[in-house]
Amino acid sequence: MANGLPTTRDMIAQLIATPSVSCVSPDHDMSNRAVIDLLAEWSEGLGFSTEVQAVNEVKYNLIARAGSGSDGLVLSGHTDTVPCDPALWFGDPFEAREADDRIYGLGSCDMKSFLALALTASSKVDLDRLNNPLTLVATADEESTMSGARLIADNGRKLGAYCVIGEPTSLSPIRQHKGVLTMSVEFVGQSGHASDPSLGNNALDGMHQFMTALYQYRDRIQQRFNDPAFKIPTPTMNLGHIHGGDNSNRICGACTLLIDIRYLPGMSFEQLHADIDQLGADIAGTRGLKVKTHVFGEGLPPMDTAEASEIAQYLTHITGKKTSSVAFGTEAPYYNMMQTETIVIGPGSIDQAHQPDEFLPLAQIDPTINMLESLIERFCLT
Ligand SMILES: [Zn+2]
């Protein structure tokens, strides 16, 4: 109970007991304010000065800082969790339960525990001795819109030279992930009686031609871009949903396709978007259809921190593991936009994230605290 800080296990339990689901569906979406308030109280108790940023009416970021300047280290995590289905859990998802050398609970691995471990590690350091600032950041809505991290990037105030985001990587350092572009393409024609094609203009026929063009485009970008650092070394394009027309005896008046593209560092979101717009416009033009494209959200940029970055090198040194890539997205690109060199490394495995009976292995708690203490020592005290 140094500095009035609860024990690590107690903090983890309190964070899990404080629901903060974020979801693009308003039925499940919740405020994260209560989690922010807990973290603010604990960090103030340690001597951090805190700033609560309103992302919108119900969502908040916390920035807790010790020391001043734009160098130093940021330890960052998201406060929200995905929704859960309590019926599929062995116990109550909002009650931290210790069994099998694990802590079970929603957010135990993704990623409320990391925030508690960052506080514990900070409590072991004399914050008055910092040469460079130490900043703890707790964000909103990582699991839904990334609006919390995006607000921090939009504000453009650099919070540190280096950042660690404690997403579950089983304590392996990660420097790369792909970017995501999700979009819809709709062709609108004219419905009419199926017996006479001249009575309408079939949107499904246009979509069929568009999909053929998309597959050819996918082949081209997969031949052009290839990075063996990724398990799937090429960009991917998944056509995930299609809807068009209503009845077999009516010419299809409108047809919509949903597309998910995962693109490599070095590829341009704007170029992909523009290329697909152009493919749609060309087909719509030759067939007399209207075309509408829509990008969902603002997409997620790829993460690409240099292997030569000092924080990448240091984490490789202390973990004995080379930096690598992951298949999931994180808030790291938003820090990299501010020239804050960012590595993702944290306890727990992504295999347990977003699953019933999510858990954190107890054996990873002390190694995480030790790693964070070393990072603070290296980037804030030396
Ligand atoms: Zn996460």
What digits encode the pLDDT tens for the residues 59-100?
999 999 999 888 999 999 999 999 999 999 999 999 999 999
Q: Which among 295, 322, 345 is the end of a domain?
A: 295
Tokens 């919509």 correspond to: 256
Q: What are phi and psi of 118, to 5 degrees?
A: -65, -40
Gap from CA of 130 to ligand 1 centroid (Å): 29
Question: How many angstroms does the Cα of residue 111 sit away from the middle of ligand 1?
Answer: 5
Query: Looking at the structure, do residues 207 and 140 belong to the same domain, yes or no?
Result: no
Q: Are residues 148 and 51 in the same domain?
A: yes
Cis bond before residue 207 (omega within 30° of 0): no
| Cα-to-centroid distance, 146 and ligand 1 (Å) | 11
166 and 209, same domain (yes or no):
no
The C-alpha angle with vertex 95 and arms to 94 and 99, in degrees rounded to 5, equals 130
Owning domain of residue 104: 2-177+302-381
| 278 CA distance to ligand 1 middle (Å) | 35
For 206, residues 6+ apart whose C-beta sits below 8 A from its C-beta are 187, 189, 255, 283, 284, 287, 289
Same domain, 31 and 164: yes
- Which neighbouring-strand residues pair with 162? 73, 341
pLDDT at 43 over 90: yes
Which of 110, 141, 142, 186 is labelled catalytic? 142
Tell me: do 170 and 280 sit in the same domain.
no
Is there a catalytic annotation at residue 142?
Answer: yes
Write the CATH number for 61: 3.40.630.10
pLDDT tens figures, 138-150: 999 999 999 999 9
Which residue of the set 80, 110, 141, 341 is catalytic? 80
Amino acid letter at 253?
A: G
- Clarify whether 85 is annotated catalytic: no
Cα-Cα-Cα-Cα dihedral of 315, 361, 20, 241, to 10°? 80
Residues 207 and 343 in one domain: no
Q: What is the pLDDT of residues 321-371, one digit of tens each?
A: 999 999 899 999 999 999 999 999 999 999 999 999 999 999 999 999 999
Express each pLDDT in 268-303 by its tens digit: 999 999 999 999 999 999 999 999 999 987 789 999
Residue 116 reports pLDDT greater than 60: yes
Do 330 and 363 lie in one domain? The reply is yes
Domain count, the chain: 2
User: What pLDDT does 240 receive?
Assistant: 93
Q: Which residues pair with 186 in a beta bridge?
A: 256, 292
Q: Quick one: 162 and 43 in the same domain?
A: yes
Is residue 122 domain-shared with residue 189, that is, in the same domain? Answer: no
Residues 317 and 369 in one domain: yes
Same domain, 149 and 246: no
Structure-token match 């050398």, residue found: 101
Instruction: For residue 328, count other CB atoms closer than 10 A to its CB.
Output: 16
Residues 19-28: what's their mean pLDDT? 92
Instruction: Determine the pLDDT at residue 69.
Output: 82
254: CA distance to ligand 1 center in Å?
37
Tens digits of residue pLDDT in 203-254? 999 999 999 999 999 999 999 999 999 999 999 999 999 999 999 999 999 9
* Band (3; pLDDT cuts 50, 70, 90): low
Q: Identify the pLDDT of residue 1.
A: 43
Alpha carbon distance 151, 142 (integer Å): 12
Going from the Cα of 354 to the center of ligand 1, the distance in angstroms, rounded, reads: 9
**Are 90 and 132 in a shared domain?**
yes
Coil, helix or strand for 48? coil
How far away, in angstroms, is 329 Cα from ligand 1 center?
9
